[in-house]
């Protein structure tokens, strides 16, 4: 597939086969030719794990110090005081059976689902809808919690979820091209530190095999993963 002129211009601006430090990569990516929208900067890390093994499946969250640059829409399953606290924290959708009915009817205008523990019998019935879209709440990612208001604040403030795919890759947004190189670097460092913290005891050999960043429509920049 032929690439556009802006992609080609971006690719000519650096050595695509070389490994770049986090700081250099951040400087390169913010210098890409600009498009008519603020592209997301995504990071992909190939891990030395076997995601088919339950104890080597990496799943978690990380709070990006510079945020994501994206307005995150949150749906919360809660009742009573917890529901009001979630609304006060900025959740766009809050409810119980009524919210479940909306979602079953096709309403999926949100990026994160948070649930109070007592709401899981209701949420569990939505697995076939939320699961394939990676929207199912999970205690491991802090999206099943008694303090739903705090979770709303965290995800709106830059907390993101991640998990290994079937190829042992982890995909995480680390900012926007409008960010400063320093902010993108800080976000990348935070992701790497969290992945290292989650290294399974059973993982053998090299843990971080490859890492790169790219924009939504731009070429990838390889990172010096050996120093992580």
pLDDT at 118 over 60: yes
Domain of residue 152: give its range: 74-156
In the 8-state DSSP scheme, what is residue 168? S
Instruction: Say whether both 127 and 98 belong to one domain.
Output: yes
CA atoms within 13 A on the CB side of 133: 17
Look at residue 123 in the predicted model and tell me its pLDDT. Answer: 97
Instruction: Say whether both 56 and 88 belong to one domain.
Output: no
pLDDT at 109 over 80: yes
> Of all residues in the chain, what percent carry a pLDDT higher than 70?
99
The domain boundary, picked from 135, 156, 177, lies at 156
pLDDT at 2 over 80: no
Task: Tell me the pLDDT band of 142, cut-offs 50, 70 and 90.
Answer: very high
The domain boundary, picked from 156, 185, 216, lies at 156
Instruction: Say whether both 61 and 168 belong to one domain.
Output: yes
Instruction: Say whether both 131 and 28 belong to one domain.
Output: no
Instruction: Say whether both 103 and 79 belong to one domain.
Output: yes
Instruction: Say whether both 49 and 92 belong to one domain.
Output: no
pLDDT at 128 over 80: yes
Look at residue 11 in the predicted model and tell me its pLDDT. Answer: 93
Q: Identify the CA nearest to 96 among candidates 129, 71, 121, 74.
A: 121
Q: What value, to the nearest 5°, has the Cα angle with vertex 194 and ends 25 and 120?
A: 125
38 with 170: CB under 8 angstroms?
no
Task: Give the global pTM.
Answer: 0.86
CATH number of the domain residue 200 falls in? 3.30.190.20
The domain boundary, picked from 156, 184, 219, lies at 156
> Average pLDDT, stretch 4-22?
94
Cβ atoms within 10 Å, residue 223: 25
Instruction: Say whether both 62 and 84 belong to one domain.
Output: no
Look at residue 203 in the predicted model and tell me its pLDDT. Answer: 87
Instruction: Say whether both 148 and 90 belong to one domain.
Output: yes
pLDDT at 1 over 70: no
Look at residue 27 in the predicted model and tell me its pLDDT. Answer: 97
> Average pLDDT, stretch 140-152?
96
Instruction: Say whether both 102 and 170 belong to one domain.
Output: no
From first CA to last CA, the distance across the chain in angstroms is 34
Instruction: Say whether both 49 and 81 belong to one domain.
Output: no
CATH number of the domain residue 84 falls in? 3.40.50.790
171 with 182: CB under 8 angstroms?
no
Look at residue 204 in the predicted model and tell me its pLDDT. Answer: 86
Which segments of the chain are extended strands (E)?
40-47, 59-63, 74-77, 93-95, 112-115, 159-163, 169-176, 208-215, 220-222
pLDDT per position as a tens digit, 31-90: 999 999 999 999 999 999 999 999 999 999 999 999 999 999 999 999 999 999 999 999
């Amino acid at each position: 597939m032929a690439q556009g002129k802006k992609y080609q211009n971006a690719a000519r601006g650096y050595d695509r086969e070389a490994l770049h430090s986090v700081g250099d990569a951040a400087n390169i990516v913010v210098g890409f030719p600009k498009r008519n929208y603020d592209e997301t900067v995504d990071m992909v890390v190939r891990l030395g794990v076997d995601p088919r093994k339950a104890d080597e499946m990496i799943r978690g969250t990380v709070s990006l110090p510079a945020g994501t640059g994206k307005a995150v829409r949150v749906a919360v399953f809660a009742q009573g005081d917890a529901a009001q606290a979630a609304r006060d924290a900025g959740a766009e959708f809050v409810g119980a059976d009524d919210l479940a009915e909306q979602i079953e009817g096709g309403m999926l205008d949100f990026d994160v689902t948070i649930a109070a523990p007592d709401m899981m019998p209701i949420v569990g019935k939505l697995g076939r809808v939320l699961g394939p879209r990676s929207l199912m709440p999970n205690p491991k990612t802090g999206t099943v919690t008694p303090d739903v208001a705090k979770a709303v604040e965290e995800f709106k403030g830059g907390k993101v979820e991640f998990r290994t795919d079937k190829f042992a890759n982890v995909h995480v947004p680390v900012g926007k091209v409008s960010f400063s190189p320093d902010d993108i670097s800080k976000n990348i460092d935070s992701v790497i530190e969290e992945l290292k913290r989650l290294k399974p005891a059973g993982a053998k050999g090299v843990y971080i095999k490859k890492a790169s960043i790219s924009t939504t429509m731009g070429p990838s920049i390889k990172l010096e993963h050996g120093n992580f």
